[in-house]
Amino acid sequence: MRNVATIMRRELFAYFVSPMAYVVIIFFLGVMSLLFALYIGSGRAEAQMVDLFHTMVFLLLMVAPVITMGLIAQERNLGTIEILLSKPVRDAEVALGKYLAAVVLLLIILALSFIYPLIMEKYGSPDWGEILVGYLGVFLAGAAFIAVGLFASSLMSNQIAAAVLAILILLFFWLVGWISYSVSQQLGDIVRHLSVFENIQDLERGIFDTKPLIFFLSICYYFIFLTVRSLEQRRA
Among residues 34, 79, 160, 171, the one that binds another protein under rule CB under 8 A: 79
Q: In this chain, which stretch among 38-46, 48-56, 83-91, 135-143 interacts with another protein, using CB under 8 A?
A: 83-91
> How many angstroms from the chain centroid is the CA of residue 234?
26
Residue 41 or 88 with smaller CB distance to another protein: 88
- Burial letters 143-166, b for 16+ CB under 10 A, else e: bbbbbbbbbbbbbbbebeebbebb
- Dihedral sign (CA 76, 82, 83, 85): positive
44 belongs to the binding site for another protein (CB under 8 A):
no
Residue 90 or 211 with smaller CB distance to another protein: 90
40 belongs to the binding site for another protein (CB under 8 A):
no
Residue 44 or 234 with smaller CB distance to another protein: 234
Q: In this chain, which stretch among 8-16, 119-127, 149-157, 178-186 interacts with another protein, using CB under 8 A?
A: 8-16
Among residues 23, 38, 47, 78, the one that binds another protein under rule CB under 8 A: 78
Range 192-201, long-range pairs (CB < 8 A, 24+ positions):
196/57, 196/141, 196/144, 196/170, 200/54, 200/57, 200/137, 200/141
158 belongs to the binding site for another protein (CB under 8 A):
no
C-alpha to C-alpha distances, 91 to 64, 218, 231, nearest whole angstrom: 22, 20, 6
Residue 93 or 130 with smaller CB distance to another protein: 93
92 belongs to the binding site for another protein (CB under 8 A):
no
Among residues 31, 89, 108, 179, the one that binds another protein under rule CB under 8 A: 89
Among residues 19, 26, 34, 80, the one that binds another protein under rule CB under 8 A: 80
Among residues 2, 122, 124, 125, the one that binds another protein under rule CB under 8 A: 2
For residues 203 and 61, what is the distance between their CA atoms, to the nearest angstrom?
17
179 belongs to the binding site for another protein (CB under 8 A):
no
85 belongs to the binding site for another protein (CB under 8 A):
yes
Among residues 41, 83, 118, 182, the one that binds another protein under rule CB under 8 A: 83
84 belongs to the binding site for another protein (CB under 8 A):
yes
207 belongs to the binding site for another protein (CB under 8 A):
no
Name the residues that contact another protein, by CB under 8 A: 2-3, 6-7, 10, 13-14, 17-18, 78-90, 234, 236
